[in-house]
Structure 1
Amino acid sequence: MFDSTKEDLRDILRSAEEGRLQLPEFQRDYVWGDADVRSLIASVAKGFPVGALLTLETGGEIEFKPRLLAGVPAKDVRPAELLLDGQQRITSLYQATRSTRPVRTRTPKGTEVERFYFIDIKKAVAGGVDFEEAIIGVPADRVIRRNFGREIVCDLSTPQGQFEADAFPLNLVFDSRDWFYDWRDHWRARGRDVGDLERDFHRGVVDRISRYEMPIIRLDKRNSREAICLVFEKVNVGGKKLDAFELVTAIYAASGANLREDWAARRARIIGAPNRRDVLSQIASTDFLQACTLLHTRELRLARAAELMQAKGKIEVKELPQVSCNRDALLGLPLHAYQTHADAVEKGFIEAGSFLNEHKIIWHKDVPYPTLIVGLAATFAILGRTAQTAAAKEKLARWFWSITLGELYGSSTESRLARDVPELAEWLSGAGPHPRSVDEALFQRDRLGSLRQRISAAYKGLHALLMRSGCRDFINGRPTDLMTFFNDKIDIHHIFPQAWCKKKGIPPNVFNSIVNKTPLSKASNIAIGGDAPSVYLRRIEQRQGLSPEALDDILRTHLIEPAHLRNDNFDAFFAARMDALAGVVVAALGKAVVDEHGADEAEEEVAAEEMAQEMAEAGDMDNTVELETA
């Protein structure tokens, strides 16, 4: 629902000055460069189109907190319209043609400056001259200097100086009569007739600017919340997409709530200080909103179900509102609902971090899917202590590993999450069966051979499951916990080193799989070097004073058969460890792995450079092991 028309620039700028046309408060300030301002002025002065404006009628379904355009004198006025698109054009034109204050702009070097703009009358009416050359930008004191400010080139700070230079102040273009009277009188007293020059300048410049019309598309206040927010997203200045959090922040601001400050305080508590929860360090504002929205929409669904049951004695699913956490649902989250659920959701995120740490997911890069944290947080927020019993956490773990090892959140994440959380809450509270995701999760045994990078959820999951099972470091013999993970720089490293595998002609797509990797400290990885396992095991025993039996016990905690390493038998090692890892998957999923071969979609190998970069970012020293000596 919109209307398009044309309106005089004069009236548009007057509306901005009186506060009837304002900006939505969250629109970012953005200062145009001097060249942009000059080009805009020149286009208007020549009557060229500079694009349509887009405005929104206020008083509709949602109210955004307004603010005056930059440069407009302060006043307490309720706007009739909000300027959605055209902020820089109208702000620049207002400051240049109507304001008594200078225009805020930037030099080509990016330095912010204040300038007044004048038009050189003689150049403006001369033929064969680019109009932009006639536009004079001067400092805020209206004095042009050179030689490091010591020499005045032109002083336009007084009317007399302007008259002498035939420089018309652009900010008088809509009320120029007195200035031209005084200009004519000034030169008449000196025997110069500027009548023809004035006439040509009026016709060629002043009249075009003062009569300039701009097309306006006006959005009716009856447009829906989703439609209005979509428009904001599309026209936002600088092309940077506004996320749902920014839009909800703007909506809440109209009610006096500062969502940005509230989130900043909650995020600090969620991440924790001084003991930082690294696994939660990448939580985004929209993640928090998603969890709140899941609780709110679930609450609406339950309330509607109770109404139907009371009225009809039965419930038809099609009559119930959907539980959702998609963008539209986030934009529709009322302030009162956010305030109702925010505290429980905050605690839910903290509990989710503890749950992940219990399962040895400690580093944020090892989170299988960030959305899983939202699901965990929402579930803990809904159930509170009910979700913290041993029985509930066992169920929660089964769901978590089903999503992770079954790689179920690779697409349609929001719809799956909205389905899983209510089902999970009912299952954990004993009111319903297990979530459908538990049934849908499948793990194909051959997948172990194709898991090669940390970008795979199942790769991260197996890394965590090995640590959870109690694998101990080759050198210090310690299992992984919060302290050792970071202090010992635990990461996933090759068992049969890359350098050795390459010499033996083993393909990278084989030796780089999760089957040939295990969690180790940086010190252990360096000790391994690029040598055969039989060599580096003896080296570790000698340097650490370990007996072969003691080191073999450590190897078994990694599901490694020691004899295969001591005999440098890669094939036997690979087959045995694949069986062992398949057993870990079975235990986590509570169901057998699938032995069938094939895939629904062909997978391409990632370029070696990309893989090296990804592993280097993850801290995998095996990529440079050939440069090290152990």
Structure 2
Amino acid sequence: MFDSTKQSLKTLLEQVRDGRIQLPEFQRDYVWTEEAIVSLLASISKGYPVGALLILERGGEVDFKPRGVEGTNFSAVEPDLLLLDGQQRMTSLFQSLFSTVPARVRDAKGDVNSRLLYMDMRKALVPDADFEDAIIVAGADKKVWKPFGRETDKDFSSKEFEFEQFMFPLNRMFEANEWLWEFHDYWRARDKDVFQLRRDFDQKIVEKITRYEMPIIKLSRDNGRHAVCTIFEKVNVGGVKLDAFELLTAIFAGTDEGFDLRADWRGTKNVAGRLARMQKNTPEWGVFSKIASTDFLQACTILHTMERKALREKEGLTSQVSCKRDELLALPLTAYKKHADKVEIGFRDAAQFLTRQNILFGYDLPYPSQLTILACVFAVLGDKAHNASVQAKLDAWFWRGVLGEVYGSSVESKIARDVPEIIEWALVVRQNGPQSSEEATFSIDRLYYMRRRQSAAYKGFHALLMREGCEDFVSGTPFSIMTLWQSTVDVHHIFPQAWCKEHQKDRGRMDSIINKTPLSDVTNRYIVRGDAPSVYLKRIEQEHNIAPEALDNILRTHLIDPALLRADDFEAFYEDRKAKLADLAAKAMAKPVAADRDLPEIPDTDDDEVLMEERVLELAQ
């Protein structure tokens, strides 16, 4: 599977130069800072370990598309080895010690500049030398400029200037003998004996660096995709974690076809990719604003493994539907190309489904995993999904998942289990709904504990109330799709927080979903002032010329009893609306809700919302 050994730095850099060691295409370009490169060189100079390299033999199942280390200059060279971990170290060492081209280095401001590195010979030879202090970073012009770049601090722009200042150019390290003898001859012509210094530098610095050995972990070509990718990520703990999409991009790029998965997903300068096509008819922050490329791959993998399972079962074999990471990494290019178009259409149909539920924006989507499940279902069912019977089943499944908070854990397993079961249910091959849907429950007391906007069920009631046609207190406009596009709508308190605190109301009840409803930011300014409902309702009527009867009808669209709200009767309002929201949940889930279990009322305030309400109050004043 793998072996470990050591190899000289010189040999490694030669292999990099000749293209025998290259990088897999997915490795991201990243430029180290001056400090990081100097620290690396100082460690090498001291003979300290700088970490092992992870290298993969080419020629096996995993054949990532290669690209050369930055700074190399060759073409059409097929590498023998791919450097999976150690890119920045090898790139930095190659550019600073081996290349005649200046290294690309990031400065303290984050700007990338071309730099050449030197070592002060005299400082380097001081006992217990601070090598970081002995290494000097100069510009591509071989000059070190003072702050603001108006005056030269050091000038190494000629070989004579290097000799005079005892500055050894580190990119001559592996051909140091020639430079050092020229340095010796330069000073001998000026009657200065530098023989001992030259010899000491050669023996104590140059030899230590040129004979430096780096530990190598070499993965054999016999390793499969999942093993290679898993090992890479375990070893590459200090780097940027790569997801399955990036790894699969490299795998597909290494095929004979050289398929560009990234371009297929994100598009190119002239051609829109799948993501852009999916987002085309949705708002800027729509349900696809947070979709991940791996979500799309999960859907393709579900369809591929379902098809594989059906074929194997015909042969009397067993197989599993799955979208776990190892299955994503094993997805064949042929399977991706076969299913991707259907999946893309499936995601667009899923977005239309969510629009009917009044969920348009990514931050209002209770569970992104449900979007993936819907995409798979629509991809398989096609036109069969667009009838009232199937839509009713999908509605019930969706709201049971949201209000029953089904998809908070073991998501991959539930996706793989639910997709086939939903499809069988829709086609009446299965009499009951999917297991997750049948097991989902909602109890009335959950309403009390529902206070955080991150909660799936909290987001669900937000959408359900708007779907049922609730209207804004001030404008009387339903929160339809067009309204959502034009104004800011969020869930806000009905009995103001300040009023509740003044009247010593239970904080848990105050902040629960029972005391909240979708409102525009304009309406909320009347509420956050802290007046009693009877007062702010009267103000809304007077300032906007709204008849009390009309405002009462608006309140009813929010499942609010107008008489209880106008009487400032918080306790009666709370119990009445709790029962109505429970009925709303039962209707959406198409199944009864569990009775109130009279659980202890433990406050659990949504601090983010408190801060937001206080900010709105400041603006209103």
Q: TM-score w.r.t. structure 2 length?
A: 0.92
Q: Does 1:287 align with 2:295?
A: yes
Cα deviation, 1:264-313, whole Å, max 9, x if unaligned, reads 222122122586572332212111111111111111111212333xxxxx
Please name the residue that 2:500 is paired with: 501
Measure, in 2, the Cα distance between the counterparts of 1:293 and 1:454: 32
For structure 2, which runs of at least 5 residues remain unmatched after alignment? 267-272
Name the CA distance, whole Å, in 2 between partners of 1:262 and 1:243.
17
Question: Which aligned pairs between 1:73-84 and structure 2 lie closer than 5 A?
Answer: 73-84=73-84
1:415 aligns with 2:413: yes
Q: Is residue 271 of structure 1 aligned with residue 274 of structure 2?
A: no
Give the Cα–Cα distance (whole angstroms) in 2 for the partners of residues 59 and 381 of structure 1. 36
CA shift in 2, pair 1:189/1:536, >3 Å: closer
The more displaced of 559-568 and 525-534 is 525-534
How much has 1:376 moved relative to structure 2? 0.9
Change (3 A) 1:542 1:180: closer
Identify the residue that residue 9 of structure 1 maps to in structure 2: 9
Query: Which of 375, 397, 400 is the equivalent residue of 2:398?
Result: 400
Give distance in 2, aligned partners of 1:561 and 1:274: 36
Match of 1:492 in 2: 491
Aligned counterpart, 1:536:
536
Is it true that 1:101 corresponds to 2:109 in the alignment?
Answer: no
Q: Which residue of 1 aligns with 2:264?
A: 262
Is residue 283–residue 360 contact of structure 2 (8 Å, CA) maintained in 1? no
The one-letter amino acid paired with 1:169 is P
1:223: which partner in 2?
Answer: 223
Question: What corresponds to 1:518 in structure 2?
Answer: 517
Letter in 2 for 1:367: L
**Aligned pairs for 1:184-333 within 5 A:** 184-236=184-236, 239-255=239-255, 256-264=258-266, 265-273=273-281, 276=284, 278-308=286-316, 319-333=317-331
Q: For 2:549 and 2:44, locate their aligned partners in 1 and report how far apart those are by CA, in whole Å.
A: 86
Percent of residue pairs bearing the same amino acid type: 51
Deviations 1:63-87 (A, max 9, x none): 1111111111122211111112222
Inter-CA distance 462–152: structure 2 relative to 1 (3 Å threshold):
closer
Output the amino acid matched with 2:475.
Answer: N
Amino acid in structure 1 at the alignment position of 2:198: E
SS in structure 1 at match of 2:175? coil
Task: Report what 2:269 is aligned to.
Answer: none
Question: Does 2:384 align with 1:370?
Answer: no
SS of residue matched to 2:424: helix
Q: Which amino acid aligns with 1:561?
A: D
Inter-partner Cα distance in structure 2 for 1:144 and 1:623: 51
The corresponding residue for 1:356 is: 354
CA distances 1:202-249 after superposition (whole Å, capped 9, x unpaired): 211122122211111111121221121122323448532212222112
Contact 2:508 2:604 in 1 (8 A): no
Aligned residue type for 1:298: M
Q: Distance in 2 between matches of 1:356 and 1:387?
A: 14
The answer to whether the 8 A contact 1:84-1:235 is kept is no
Q: Which segments of 5 or more consecutive residues in structure 1 lack a partner in the other structure? A: 309-318
Q: Which amino acid aligns with 1:491?
A: D
3-state SS, counterpart of residue 5 of structure 2: strand
CA contact (8 A) 1:474 1:524 kept: yes
In the other structure, the counterpart of 1:312 is: none
Measure how far apart 1:378 and its partner are. Answer: 1.2
Report the equivalent of 2:385.
Answer: 387
Q: How far 1:32 moved relative to its partner?
A: 2.0
SS at 1:173 equivalent: helix
Within 2, Cα distance between the matches of 1:34 and 1:491? 47
User: Whole-Å Cα distance in 1 between the matches of residues 147 and 314 of structure 2?
Assistant: 81
Kept in 2: contact 1:525–1:622 (CA 8 A): no
Cα root mean square deviation, aligned:
2.5
**SS in structure 1 at match of 2:534:** helix
Residue 293 of structure 1 aligns with an amino acid whose one-letter code is: T
Give me the whole-angstrom Cα distance separating, in 2, the residues matched to 1:325 and 1:625.
47
Find the counterpart in structure 2 of residue 316 from structure 1: none
Correspondence for 2:426: 428
**Aligned pair in 2 of structure 1 residues 447, 90: CA closer, same or farther (>3 Å)?**
same
Give how far 1:494 is off.
2.0
Q: Does 1:183 align with 2:183?
A: yes
Deviation at 1:424, TM superposition (A): 0.6
- Distance change >3 Å, CA 488–CA 4, structure 1 → 2: closer
Secondary structure at 1:221 match in 2: coil
Q: Any idea what the Cα deviations from partners look like across 1:383-427, whole Å, max 9, x if unmatched? A: 111111111111100100110111111111111111111111111
Alignment partners' CA distance in 2, 1:246 and 1:153? 45
Q: Which residue number corresponds to residue 311 of structure 1?
A: none
Deviation, structure 1 residue 175: 2.3
Q: Which amino acid aligns with 1:426?
A: E
Verify the 8 A CA contact 1:387 1:429 in the aligned structure 2.
no
Q: Which residue of 2 aligns with 1:450?
A: 449
Amino acid at match of 2:2: F
Distance 1:123 1:360, change over 3 A: closer
For 2:70, the equivalent position in structure 1 comes to 70
For residues 129-174 of structure 1, the C-alpha deviation after alignment (integer angstroms, 9 at most, x for no partner) is: 4233333333222244559767666543343333333333322222
